[in-house]
């Protein structure tokens, strides 16, 4: 067994969502999103990925969208290598183009407290988009501290510390093709 495999075995209590389950859900979300924007007669969609966690999800999801899109990114922070959100939103990288009078779809890896996304959504609405929807692979409603509507949701997940498929702990484990539950001993000691 490699040191890496040993680390995974020691640091995870189990895999919550498999690679195959994620793939199937993304195909389903792609159909839903395509149908939604077709019903709006949208000629183009701006997809905004929230860095860094959404990168894997966004990359797989946009290949399932059957319509013209452009892609942009924002980097925001409210965790700063901590387990819980600080509640303060910091814009690290803003989008590059105007969203005024355009259809916008924000892609998130997970919605936890909802505080970060609520602030982000309010800020984007002030830029006058034609429509603004949220798509998140994971939704953790047990931790919700503010009212935020998720228009397209992959999986509702339990109140556990999750890593993999874009989710990290202190920058690690984002590249894993599945979502795993991090052993509490890892973050309670670190």
b/e per residue, 30-51, with b = 16+ CB within 10 A?
Answer: beebbebbeeeebeebbbbbbb
Q: Are 46 and 105 in contact (CB under 8 A)?
A: yes
Q: Which of 3, 41, 81, 112 is catalytic?
A: 112
| 168 carries an active-site annotation | no
How far is the C-alpha of 73 from the C-alpha of 187, rounded, in Å? 29
Which residues belong to the active site? 112
């Amino acid at each position: 067994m490699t040191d890496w495999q040993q680390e995974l075995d020691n640091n995870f209590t189990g895999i919550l969502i498999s690679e195959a389950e994620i793939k199937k859900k993304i195909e389903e979300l792609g159909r839903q999103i395509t149908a939604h924007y077709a019903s709006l007669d949208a000629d183009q969609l701006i997809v905004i990925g929230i860095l860094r966690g959404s990168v894997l999800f966004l990359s797989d999801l946009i290949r399932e969208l059957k319509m013209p899109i452009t892609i942009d990114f924002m980097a925001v922070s409210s965790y700063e290598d901590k387990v819980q959100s600080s509640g303060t939103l910091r814009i690290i990288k803003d989008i590059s183009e105007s969203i005024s009078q355009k259809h916008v779809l924000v892609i998130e890896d997970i919605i936890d407290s909802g505080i970060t996304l609520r602030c982000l959504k309010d800020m984007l609405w002030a830029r006058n988009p034609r429509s603004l929807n949220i798509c998140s692979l994971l939704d953790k409603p047990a931790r919700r501290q503010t009212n935020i509507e998720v228009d397209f949701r992959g999986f509702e997940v339990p109140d556990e510390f999750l890593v993999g498929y874009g989710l990290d702990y202190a920058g690690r484990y984002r590249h894993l093709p599945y979502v795993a539950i991090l052993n509490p001993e890892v973050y309670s000691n670190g």
